[in-house]
Every structure is written in structure tokens, then in C-alpha cells.
Structure 1
Amino acid sequence: MRPPPVPFHRSSLGRGVGLLMLALAAMAVLVTLLALRARDTLADLRRFDQINQVLPSMTLLMEGLLNAETGQRGYLLTQKNSYLQPYRDAARDLDRRVDELVERDQDSAHVAKLARVRELVQLKTGELAQTVRLHESGQHDEALELVLSDQGQHHMNELRDLLGELTSSLRAERAVISERLASNTSRTELLLLAALAMLGLFTVLATMQVLVRTRALTRAQKRLRGIADNVPALITHHDRTGALRFANAEVGRVHHADPATLLGKRIEQLSGAHHAALVEPFIARVLAGEAVEFDAPQTVDGETLHFHQRFVPDMHGDQVEGFYAVSLDITERKRAEARMAASERRMKAITDNLPIFLTYIDREMRLRFANETLRGWFGLDPDLVMGLHLRDGFGDAFFEQRRVQLELAMQGERVEFQLSSVLQGKLRHLRTIYVPDRGPDGEVQGVFTLATDVTAMKQAEAQLARLASSDALTGLPNRRELDPALTRALARQRRHAHEGGAMALLFLDVDRFKSINDTHGHGVGDTVLREFAQCLRRTVRASDMVARIAGDEFVAVLEGLNHPDEAAQVAAKVVEAVAAAKPGGLEITASVGVATVTGGEVPAAELVALADRALYQAKREGRDGFAVIAWPGPGTAVEQRR
């Protein structure tokens, strides 16, 4: 017997139930996938938020460390307490900033590194506190030694490395999360569309199930919207014309408006024409199917904000119907970078305007840093000589003049010396200090150099020496210069005496000089003395010393005479030359006392006294002449010429 036919309504019901069960199963799968994706997305967003809290803490910690180190370096250059004071507050906040960083960074992989960061910061703050205490107690050399210590630089370098590694790791993780969020958003939207299509297919057979599913989807959308609204980033969706189709709560916060009121507006209406022009090239690329990432400033209510933006194409098949945009507010980071750059500019301005030449030379004798004094002293552009060997940048002569001191500094010795160099045609006297730069392993990595121009001081010293040893009126050597010169001449005469040579000392004055001053005045008297000195200087040999010892009294030292009689000839020439020259336009005569020496030990003071006796002998004989007495004096003949 054939089985009775199944009623149509029961068969339809069975198929409907089967389709409904299939729909429910499919919906169950979709709901599970969405729940899993939402859970993963929420975890990613929480981690994203945590990273965004940790990175500014790292930036503030690094800024505080750099400020503290800048204070130390400023103190190194100036040794003034004022350069440490602005950074003491920064040093006091370092422990708090480390605590904030450790509290915010809950990544177990960072625990060891953060513990090391805390340890290094405590060492660094202790070093700065020690520097301040030494400075305030007057122990400046010990403070400088502490600032220049290798251990402090080693700690700072390790801190930079640790914070750099942590920052790079977090930024890389954040970039991965951003990409995953963008990808998950697109996939979630596709899953939602599939679920809606399936619900539409089974609307007739499972109205109640569709309604239930719709409510579930609504809750999921609210959940996703809640997630999007709590992401610390601007999340938007734009169509191909650039009109806004979706905006999360962060967009409304930045633009001070309800996100719903912003829908439909184009980018130039939201952010201004300037920002629209900046992002236009990137919009063209994303509408061509390319994901792009960039930084761009944006002015909102007169305030300039900085955003790191990522545009992802909204693909439907092969067609791009719009794009998603995720924008992270990096204004604080930019401001921190600007503050750091300003601090570096201030430090460079200080070094460039110091009246010293600062450089850093590596172990290969290559120039790695120089302040602006390089241009003023050497006429060199720092950018052109940076990285060159000293021999190539400054020339062989300059390098060889300092090579020995540089080698000593490269061996770890602090070197201080003075040298004179011709720089751009000008002679400069430089006082230079070489300070070795030791690395973490104790090896010398290079040398800091500080050179001060002491030319003015050297010139002043030379001028003082000239003023101390010369007569201001005549320019001749004075008594202070004569005494050691006469002693040296007598020492040479002792050697010359073995060859039969002689020397003589001439003691001269102007006859009746007091009456010249009384009659014509001291101005004429000074002119007479100046011209008398010039006449005397012209009459004797260039190698003979002529000095003014007091008033109208002059002395001439004649060395290298072949015979004592030559001194009398010189004296006669002087007397004749003075009478012919008429110093001051007056009829002037001179008297000369000559003391000759042919050998033996002759005390300088006694030789001067002997010449003075001969002068008075010439005066007694009527002036306008000379008298000669040979050492030792008694029993010698006296010659006179009128």
C-alpha cells in the first residue's frame, strides 16, 4: 500500500521549520563570530588606550631627563648655579613620572625594563643632587668632575636606549592594533550585512525570529557604537565625495558639536579649506584603493591641533565607495617635540655665542661638532667641515701643531696648553683644554675641546713689558732695561777679551740743560731730549744699546770694539753730531764720559760710576767734549776734545 500523501501545509511547515532551523543555525554562527570579534576588538581598544596613556608618560619622563642633563651640561659650560636652578624642579618630578609610567604600563614583558629605568632614574637624580650639593658647598672642581664622569653618561645612554626600545615596541604594537581595528571593522560590517540579508530571506517564515535577530543586531550595533565612541581617536566614514557618513563621539568632542549634526558635511566644511588642501592628495590615493598614513595639522576654533591619520578604502567589490578615517590626536607629542627642539636651539644659541671655540673630535680625528666660533675664527662653514679629518678641515700646520696634545687626550689624559696660530691672517694666542670622552667600557671615544682667545691679554702683557722697560719720552730703553743688558754685555766682553777685543760705556748729558728748561720751558726741553736721543741713536751703530737713565742723562754701550780708541772716535762723532743737529732749534752742546774695558772682571755698577767720573771730567774741562778713562781707572790718561 502506498503511504498517504503528506498534506501540503505540513510539508511546507516542515520545510519552513528546516529553513528556520538552518537560519537559526546560521544566525547562531554569525552571532558567535560577532561576539568573538567584539570581544577581541574591545580587548584591542583597551590595549590601545593603555598604550596611548603610557607613551606620553615616557615622553614626559624623557623630557625631564633631558632637562636635567641640559642643566648639568649648562653647568659644565658656565659653572654657574643659575644654569642648574631651572632644571631642579624637573629632577624632583622624575620619581613621580617613573611611578606613573610603571602604573600605566601593565605589560608583563616590560616589568624588567621598567625596573631598570627606575633604578637608572634614581641614579641620575642622585647624581644631579650630588652636583648641586658640591656646587653649593663651593666644591666646583668636584662638581665638574662629577658632571663629566663616564658613569653618568653611561646611565643616560642606557636610559635613552631603554626608553627608546619601550617606545618603539609600544608604537609598533599600536600600529598593529590600528590595522587590526580597521580590518575588524570592515569584516564586522560585512558580517552584519550578511546577517541582514539572511534575515530578509527568512522574513516570511520566521518573522519572530527576524525580530529577535534584529534586536540582537541592534544591541551589537550599539555595542560597536559604544566601543567606537570610547576609542581615543577620531573614527569617521566618508563617501566618494568626501561627505561625512559616520562620526564617533571623539569627533564631536574635537569639533565641539554633536556628531549627528556633522553628518553630510564635507571635509572643507569640517576642518577648513587649508586642511582640506593638505589631505586632498591622500584622499585621491585612498579612493584609488590604497591605504595611506600621514601626519597633518588642523585648526579647530583658532587652536592648531596635530593628528596622525590613516585612510582605508571602503571597498565594494572592485569599486571604492568611500573611505574610513582613523585620526589620533598627537598634539601633546608635537608640543613636547617643539619644547625639546626649542631647548636644543637655546643650548645651541648659548654655545654659538660663547666667546670660546667648542668642538668634539672622535677617535679617528674627525670633527663631529663645532660651535659658530668656527666660522668667526677660521672662516669655515660648520656644515661643510663636519665629519672631515682635522688635517683636511684645518690644514696640516694647524693639525701638526696640536697633534701631540690630541694623542695624549685620546689616551685618556686631560691636557691644557697655550699655542699661537695665524687664523685668517690674524695671529691668535689660544688657551686650549682637551677633555677625554670615555664610553661605557671606559675607552676614550673622542675628545671635547675648549679654546679661549687670550690674544688681548698677551698683547696687554707685551705692552706692559714694553712700558716697564722703555722711556716714555724718547722711546729708548730705561734704567730697568739697561742694568741686565749691561750685565750681559760685560759677560760677552769677558769672552771677547781673549781675542783682544774691547768695549766701552758712554755717559752723556746735555750741557746746561736746566737753563734750557728755565728759559724756554719744559716743552722745549722735552723736544731737545727727544731730538738729542734721535741724534745719539743715529750716530752709534745699530747694534749698540742707547738708554735714557734720568733727566738729560743718557748711556750708550759699545760692544765688539777692536781697540779702546774706537770709543773716543764715537764720542767725538756724538759731540759733533749734537752741535750740528741743533736739537729743539737751539745751539746745544753735549758732554761725554767714556769708560773703556779691555778685559777682566768688571762690575757693572763700577763701570757706570767710572763713566760718570769721566763725564764730570769733561764738564770740568769746559763741556762740549768728552773724556776717556780706561778701566780700572786710577793712573789712566784723560782725553778731551772741545
Structure 2
Amino acid sequence: MRSSIEPIHRTTFGRGVGLLMVALFAMAVIVAMLAWRARDTLEDLRRADSINTVLPAMTLLMEDLLNAETGQRGYLLTQRTSYLQPYRDAVRRLDQRVEELSARDTDPAHAPKLARVRELVQLKLNEMNQTVRLNDSGRHDEALELVLGDQGMRHMDELRDVLGELISSLRSERSAISERLSRDAGHTELLLLAGLAMLGLFTVLATTQVVLRSRDLMRTQRRLRGIADNVPALISHYDGRGLLRFANAEVGRVFHTDPASLVGRSMEELRGAENAARIRPFVQRVLQGESVAFDADQLIDGEMLHFHQRFVPDMADGRVEGFYACSMDITERKRAEALVAASERRMKAITDNLPVFITYIDAERKLRYTNETMRTWYGLDPQAVIGLHIDDVFGQAGVSQRSAQLALALSGERVEFEITTSMLGKQRHLRAIYVPDVGADGRVQGIFTLSIDITVMKQAEAQLARLASSDALTGLPNRREFDQALGGALARQRRHAREGRGMALLFLDIDRFKAINDTHGHGVGDTVLREFATVLRRTVRGSDHVARIAGDEFVAVLEGLNRPDEAEQVAQKIVEAVRAMRPTGLTISVSIGVATVADGEVPAMDLIALADRALYQAKHQGRDGWAAIAWPGPDLRR
């Protein structure tokens, strides 16, 4: 019996030892894999933690730069000191932001770009401080030219590019880490389940070994749980019924509770019916075996949080038994993006409310930006015209007016000019400035255009010119305009003389006008002067020039006369028309001196003296009539 039992015992023992060795070997392989995964996971966690400290520093640096630039430009464009406060607050923090970023980002690969960021920040800071100093010292145009210059914008564009590359690289790396952790967590759980199953098979044959190995596995589980609990993401596992089976510490932190107390709850209980309803379509897709990724908002304890979520199916024997959920809290990123968007909205609000038409036209002459003035001047929606060719927006006629200036600006030259154009049936005088946008390669990428409506100023200039050359009471040209008109008429008389035609100068004086003023007052006298001017304009030809040179003294220049007596006929018509006047019931008469010219060379002062002498003669003859003297007349030297 003994002899027969020993072989069996040895065989059983040998099989047990063999199976135990196989089990130990398999467990050793599993533990090694778990340790290897744990090491990689810890490295990923450290890297993810480093990235999470660097990204906010970069975002804050960019936000302060944008706030500084927004405040600076707002101050320069509006001259409101209130815009300086965000500028000063941002500038005070810039050096600190750069130092924090350099201290947090220790990646040697980022060192050259960080050095460039530091250099660009200092350049931009110096530029902004210089523009404010220029503006405060009264050199506003120089400040505007500096802030809108190519160099400042090139520095800001390069700074956005460098920070954008760093941020994009870090976000991509963090996303890859999150995906790797999510994937490795599932694999690790599968390895643990396999190891536990194997241990169950050898419980009878190697209880002690199983217990020891179980202790090792428990320690590994604790390490894995520790890793999962320190991942900056919400990691959880749901079964096929949608009940929570696992949640790491981050889940408890977000929901302000112990993660263990959440196990066994449904998604509706955890997230609320409204949020669960929004996520339900993604749950249905992952339970069908599809991996899904999406962004979702979650209202937790009155605070709206933003998450990027990824659902991965938990497959077993080709069947989906549940799914793993990995959610990254992107609330801070969303808030930073909202701040940047708000800053851009503020800048747009400023440009939309400036009394300036601002556009950006690219090298292909397509409109890439326009402010709200587009709607006011052209009746077009600013958003609807973006991307259209300027010929389609302003019309070929409007563009052809500015073709030369557009060509100069697109060749790299800054252009300033004035132009008169029609917009919505309204004539506008504009002062335009075209500033080329030169890229880092020296090529012109487009042009910035600024147009200011100077119609009111032009109208005021024209009105001042009219006031300077006309008589305020009668509206007739004044002495200054008469002198210019007489000079021009005498110059043309040289040609008229060769054709056998002549000209005449009429001096007119209202008879006894001083008595009218003294007896009836200056108001009546002014009425007499205005009506006399009206009669005079109606009586002479439209081509003749009439003017009031002083008091009740008027003149008329008659050109292109075929005969001298034509001037006398005009004088007679004026005398008769004045007799018919009845201003305020008064009887008015006029005396006229007529000086006629047939020669081509007549000094202006001599002709004036001749007309004045003829007027004196008409008054000497009894007034209410005219007297004519032909050039050269009597000797004027007496």
C-alpha cells in the first residue's frame, strides 16, 4: 500500500509542484508586466502634472499680453484713461508671468522657444511703454503709427505662434498621456482578473503560495489605485446596465463625496436626469462597441464645469460588458478661452464704434475684416462680405477710383490720400490711409485701410470760402471777388478786341441812401439793399458779373459787347427796374456811371476811375439816370 501510495503522492506532488511552478511563473510574468506598466504610468503622471502647471502659466501670460495691448490701443484710439487700468495691471504682471513660465517648464526641448518668448515679451513691453509715453507727451500720431506699425504686430504674431506651438504640443502630449492611461487602466484590470483566476485554480495545491502571491497582487492593486487616484482625470467603469463599478479619487473630488459611496449608482443618479439625457446617445454608442470622445458640461453644486470625455467599450468574448470612462476637466481652459474671446469682443466693440471705416484686404484683394461702419456707409452686413473680392463689395467703379493707391499699398508702400465718392446716394469726402501688412518673409500679405469721413470739414471749408468772397447782406460777390473778376475780364478783353467786341464797367449808387437810413432806420435800408441786389441780378445777363463793393455802391462788369450802346441799354433797363421797386413802400432811384472799352489793353485802376467819373457825371445831371464815357475818355491825369 505504501509502495503504491508513494508513487501517487510523488506524482501528485510533482504535478502540484509543476502546476505551482507554472502558476508562479505566470504570476511572475503578470507582476512584471504590472510593475512595468506602473512605472510607465508614474512617469506619465509626473509628466501630466508638469504639463498642467505649465499650460495655465502660458495662458495667463498670453491673457496679460492681450489685456495690455487691448488697454493700450483702447487708450490711444479713444483717449480714455479708463482703458489704461487693464494695461497697467497686465504690464505689472508680465515679468512675473515670464519667470513663472520659465520655472515651471523645465523641458530642455522648450528652452529655445521660452527664451524667444522672454525676448518677444520684453520687446512688446518696451514698445507698449514707448507708445504710451509718446501719447502722454502729446505725440499721438507717432504713438498710433508705432502701435499700428509692422514691427509691433509682427512681434505679437510671432509671440502667438511660439506660445501656440508650445501650448498645442503640450496639449497633444497631455491628450496622448490621458489616452494611454485610460487604455493601460483597462489592460491592467484585465491582467489582474487573469491573475486572480489563475490563483483560484491553484488554491488547493498551493494555499500558502497563493496567499503570498495574493498579498503581492493586493499591493499592486493599491499601487494601481494610487496611480488612478492621482491621475488628473475622472476614471470610472460602468457595467452593461450603466451602473458605476469603479471610480478613482478624482471622481470623488469633483462630486464632493467618497468614490466608494458612488459605486452601484446609475448615471442619472450621479449626473442628474438632464445631464444624463445629453450623454445617453454616447453611452448607447459605446455599448454597441464604438469608442467615442466628446465635450460635455456638468452643473455640480451650482458650478458649471466643462469636461472632455472618452468612452471605451469593455469587451469580453466579443461582447460588450460595460465601458470605461475617462473625463478631463477642461474648465480652466474654457474660462481662459472665454477671457480671450471677451477681449476680442471688447476690441471689436471699440473698432465698431469708432467714426472710422476699417478693413483688412488680403493680397488677393479679398475682404478679410471690416468694422460696423460697413453697414452705415454701404448698407452691407459686415459678416456677409467677409471673403468676397473687393470688386464684388464696392463695385468696379469704386475700386477703380482707388486702383493706384491699392497698387502702391500692395507693393509695400504706406499711402494717404483724399477722395470723393458716392455711398448709398450720399456724396462723402474721405481721408484714407492704406498700411501694408508685411509678413516675416518680406512679402505683403494684405493691407489695413482706415477711412475717415471729412465731408463736414470740407463743407465748412467751402462755406468759409463763400463767406470770404461774398457780401453777407445781399449775397453778391464782395470787393475782393470783384477785383478778381475785373482782372479776368480785362485779360479776356484782349481777345474780344481782336474780334471787334468790347466790354463795360458800371458803377451804381442808390440815390439819397443815407437819408433812407437816417429817416427809416437801418432795417429798412438793409431791405432796400437786398431788393436792389435782386433787381440788379435779374436785369443783367447771367454771364455778367455784379458785386457790392461798399455801402450802397454796386458794380457790374459786362463782357463780349458787340456795340458800346449795349451797355447803355443795360443801364437804362436797370434805372427803369429800380424805379419800379417799392421796398417797404419807398420810391427808389439809382445813378449809374458807364465806362465802355473797345481796346485790348486797359489798366484796371484807370477803368475804375473812368466809371467813377461817369457816375459823378450822372449824379451831377440830377440823379435817377446814367452817364457813359468811352475809354480812354478825358485825360484822367487831371
Counterpart residue type for residue 493 of structure 1: Q
**CA spacing shift, 1:612–1:205, aligned 2, 3 Å:** same
Q: Aligned residue for 1:87?
A: 87
**CA spacing shift, 1:74–1:412, aligned 2, 3 Å:** farther
Counterpart residue type for residue 496 of structure 1: H
- Aligned partners of 1:318 and 1:64: how far apart in 2? 53
| Alignment deviations for residues 567-587 of structure 1 (CA, whole Å, 9 cap, x no partner) | 111111111122234344433
SS at match of 1:509: strand
SS at match of 1:395: helix
SS at match of 2:6: coil
**CA spacing shift, 1:626–1:171, aligned 2, 3 Å:** same
- Aligned partners of 1:129 and 1:528: how far apart in 2? 67
Deviation at 1:80, TM superposition (A): 7.0
| Alignment deviations for residues 127-153 of structure 1 (CA, whole Å, 9 cap, x no partner) | 333434444455545544443443433
1:97-496 superposed matches below 5 A: 97-496=97-496
- Aligned partners of 1:484 and 1:608: how far apart in 2? 13
Deviation at 1:377, TM superposition (A): 0.9
Larger CA deviation: 11-20 vs 342-351 = 11-20
Q: Aligned residue for 1:640?
A: none
| Alignment deviations for residues 20-47 of structure 1 (CA, whole Å, 9 cap, x no partner) | 2222222222222222222222222222
SS at match of 2:599: coil
**CA spacing shift, 1:600–1:25, aligned 2, 3 Å:** closer
Deviation at 1:58, TM superposition (A): 2.2
Q: Aligned residue for 1:55?
A: 55
- Aligned partners of 2:407 and 2:40: how far apart in 1? 62
Give yes or no for contact 1:531–1:584 (8 Å, CA) kept in 2. Answer: no
Deviation at 1:353, TM superposition (A): 0.8
SS at match of 2:192: helix
Counterpart residue type for residue 218 of structure 2: T
Larger CA deviation: 604-613 vs 447-456 = 604-613
- Aligned partners of 1:255 and 1:152: how far apart in 2? 46
Matched, 1:42 2:42: yes
Give yes or no for contact 1:372–1:382 (8 Å, CA) kept in 2. Answer: yes
- Aligned partners of 2:398 and 2:432: how far apart in 1? 13
Give yes or no for contact 2:76–2:135 (8 Å, CA) kept in 1. Answer: no
- Aligned partners of 2:23 and 2:492: how far apart in 1? 127
SS at match of 1:322: strand
Q: TM-score, normalised by structure 1?
A: 0.92
SS at match of 1:357: strand
Give yes or no for contact 2:72–2:132 (8 Å, CA) kept in 1. Answer: no
Identity in percent? 72
Counterpart residue type for residue 319 of structure 1: R
SS at match of 2:337: helix
Give yes or no for contact 1:151–1:440 (8 Å, CA) kept in 2. Answer: no
SS at match of 1:385: coil
SS at match of 2:474: coil
Deviation at 1:628, TM superposition (A): 1.1
- Aligned partners of 2:83 and 2:606: how far apart in 1? 64
- Aligned partners of 2:230 and 2:208: how far apart in 1? 33
**CA spacing shift, 1:401–1:79, aligned 2, 3 Å:** farther
| Alignment deviations for residues 287-315 of structure 1 (CA, whole Å, 9 cap, x no partner) | 11111111111111111111111111122
Deviation at 1:451, TM superposition (A): 0.9
**CA spacing shift, 1:526–1:141, aligned 2, 3 Å:** closer
Counterpart residue type for residue 298 of structure 1: Q
Counterpart residue type for residue 109 of structure 1: A
Give yes or no for contact 2:67–2:90 (8 Å, CA) kept in 1. Answer: yes
- Aligned partners of 1:521 and 1:159: how far apart in 2? 78
Counterpart residue type for residue 323 of structure 2: F
| Alignment deviations for residues 527-572 of structure 1 (CA, whole Å, 9 cap, x no partner) | 3322222222111111111212233222111111122222111111
Counterpart residue type for residue 339 of structure 1: L
Counterpart residue type for residue 111 of structure 1: A
| Alignment deviations for residues 236-280 of structure 1 (CA, whole Å, 9 cap, x no partner) | 222233322222211221122222222233223222233212211
Deviation at 1:629, TM superposition (A): 1.9
- Aligned partners of 1:564 and 1:362: how far apart in 2? 68
SS at match of 2:429: strand
Q: TM-score, normalised by structure 2?
A: 0.93
Give yes or no for contact 1:150–1:440 (8 Å, CA) kept in 2. Answer: no
Matched, 1:562 2:562: yes
SS at match of 2:257: coil
1:15-26 superposed matches below 5 A: 15-26=15-26
**CA spacing shift, 1:334–1:4, aligned 2, 3 Å:** closer
Give yes or no for contact 1:527–1:583 (8 Å, CA) kept in 2. Answer: yes
**CA spacing shift, 1:26–1:396, aligned 2, 3 Å:** closer
- Aligned partners of 2:270 and 2:550: how far apart in 1? 95
Give yes or no for contact 1:501–1:598 (8 Å, CA) kept in 2. Answer: yes
Deviation at 1:333, TM superposition (A): 0.7
Q: Aligned residue for 1:508?
A: 508
SS at match of 2:402: helix
- Aligned partners of 1:292 and 1:129: how far apart in 2? 49
- Aligned partners of 1:87 and 1:635: how far apart in 2? 82
SS at match of 2:53: helix
Give yes or no for contact 2:66–2:343 (8 Å, CA) kept in 1. Answer: no
SS at match of 2:594: strand
Give yes or no for contact 2:378–2:424 (8 Å, CA) kept in 1. Answer: yes
Counterpart residue type for residue 50 of structure 2: Q
**CA spacing shift, 1:138–1:582, aligned 2, 3 Å:** closer
Give yes or no for contact 2:617–2:627 (8 Å, CA) kept in 1. Answer: yes
Deviation at 1:206, TM superposition (A): 1.5
Deviation at 1:631, TM superposition (A): 2.7
- After superposition, the CA RMSD in angstroms is 2.4
- Aligned partners of 2:5 and 2:263: how far apart in 1? 59
SS at match of 2:418: strand
Give yes or no for contact 1:131–1:146 (8 Å, CA) kept in 2. Answer: yes
Structure 1: gaps (5+ residues) = 637-642
- Aligned partners of 1:226 and 1:558: how far apart in 2? 110
- Aligned partners of 1:548 and 1:331: how far apart in 2? 80
| Alignment deviations for residues 502-549 of structure 1 (CA, whole Å, 9 cap, x no partner) | 211111222233333444444433333222222221111111112122
SS at match of 1:242: coil
Counterpart residue type for residue 349 of structure 1: A
- Aligned partners of 2:310 and 2:286: how far apart in 1? 10
Deviation at 1:341, TM superposition (A): 0.5
- Aligned partners of 2:356 and 2:564: how far apart in 1? 58
Give yes or no for contact 1:150–1:442 (8 Å, CA) kept in 2. Answer: no
Give yes or no for contact 1:311–1:325 (8 Å, CA) kept in 2. Answer: yes
Deviation at 1:469, TM superposition (A): 1.9
**CA spacing shift, 1:444–1:300, aligned 2, 3 Å:** same
Larger CA deviation: 323-332 vs 471-480 = 471-480
Task: Give the count of matched residue pairs.
Answer: 634
**CA spacing shift, 1:350–1:209, aligned 2, 3 Å:** same
SS at match of 1:446: strand
- Aligned partners of 2:43 and 2:266: how far apart in 1? 33
- Aligned partners of 1:626 and 1:132: how far apart in 2? 73
Deviation at 1:413, TM superposition (A): 2.3
- Aligned partners of 2:9 and 2:132: how far apart in 1? 96
Deviation at 1:497, TM superposition (A): 2.2
**CA spacing shift, 1:164–1:539, aligned 2, 3 Å:** same
Deviation at 1:100, TM superposition (A): 2.6
Deviation at 1:72, TM superposition (A): 5.3
**CA spacing shift, 1:119–1:551, aligned 2, 3 Å:** closer
Q: Aligned residue for 1:613?
A: 613
Deviation at 1:220, TM superposition (A): 1.5
**CA spacing shift, 1:304–1:597, aligned 2, 3 Å:** same
Deviation at 1:83, TM superposition (A): 4.7
- Aligned partners of 2:183 and 2:66: how far apart in 1? 39
Structure 2: gaps (5+ residues) = none
Deviation at 1:334, TM superposition (A): 0.5
Give yes or no for contact 1:507–1:611 (8 Å, CA) kept in 2. Answer: yes
Deviation at 1:373, TM superposition (A): 0.9
Give yes or no for contact 1:81–1:135 (8 Å, CA) kept in 2. Answer: no
Q: Aligned residue for 2:544?
A: 544
